């Protein structure tokens, strides 16, 4: 790129530069350059043809529901205690053999009942799916629930119940199960 020495600043650039240099004090012995006077604007439209602009309606403010709180994975200490049996799993559900819509409604109902019963941590068994069958026949998808249940737990309808989730330890099903941490119920504090 070739440097042009005779380039002049555009009007916007001059305005920006004046705005920036207002906050700086000049060096001793130097004066601040005078502010240029704006050029008078000439009217191209006769005053008889001028009309006032139509009133602009005030923008409507939509009241959005508050954003759901973020999901928090189980803490390391809590995972260790669950694995060792120090902390117990309050309830469990096995989604093996269910179709997606059956599993979704069963999971939602189970989590709401567990929350109402005061459960803190529940185990959701999804199964690992048969990956050997999935590779042999790509149209026969296996392990669908294993993939979908974490997505369901992040949905807005689940946020009032679910505080967070993590993969279960090998003792409780490993990759085919999830520990789900529940929020406290409305009646319990």
Evaluate if pTM is beyond 0.75. no
Q: Which pLDDT tens digits describe the chain residue by residue (189 residues)?
A: 566 667 777 888 888 888 888 778 888 888 777 776 766 666 555 565 566 666 777 777 777 766 666 677 777 887 777 777 777 788 888 888 888 888 888 988 999 999 888 888 888 888 776 655 555 555 555 678 888 888 888 887 888 888 888 777 777 777 778 888 888 876 554
Three-state DSSP class for residue 97 = coil
DSSP string computed for 152-166: HHTSHHHHTTEEEEE
71-102 as b/e: b if 16+ CB within 10 A: eeebeeebbeebeeeebebebbbebeebeeee
Going along the chain from its start, the domains and CATH numbers come out as 76-182 (3.30.1370.110)
**71 vs 32: CA distance, rounded Å:** 56
């Amino acid at each position: 790129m070739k440097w042009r020495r005779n380039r002049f600043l555009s009007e916007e650039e001059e305005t920006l530069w004046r705005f920036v240099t207002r906050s700086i004090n000049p060096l001793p012995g130097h004066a601040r350059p005078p502010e240029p006077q704006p050029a008078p604007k000439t009217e191209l439209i006769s005053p008889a043809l001028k009309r006032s602009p139509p009133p602009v309606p005030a923008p409507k403010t939509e009241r959005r529901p508050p954003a759901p709180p973020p999901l928090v994975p189980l803490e390391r200490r809590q995972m260790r205690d669950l694995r060792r049996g120090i902390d117990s799993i309050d309830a469990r559900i096995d989604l093996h053999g269910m179709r997606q819509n059956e599993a979704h409604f069963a999971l939602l109902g189970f989590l709401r009942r567990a929350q109402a019963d005061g459960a803190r941590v529940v185990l959701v068994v999804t199964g690992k799916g048969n990956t050997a069958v999935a590779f042999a026949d790509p149209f026969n998808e296996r392990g669908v629930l294993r993939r979908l249940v974490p997505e369901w737990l992040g949905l807005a309808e689940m946020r009032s119940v679910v505080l967070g989730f993590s993969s279960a330890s090998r003792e409780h099903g490993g990759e085919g199960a999830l520990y789900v941490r529940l929020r406290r119920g409305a009646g319990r504090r």
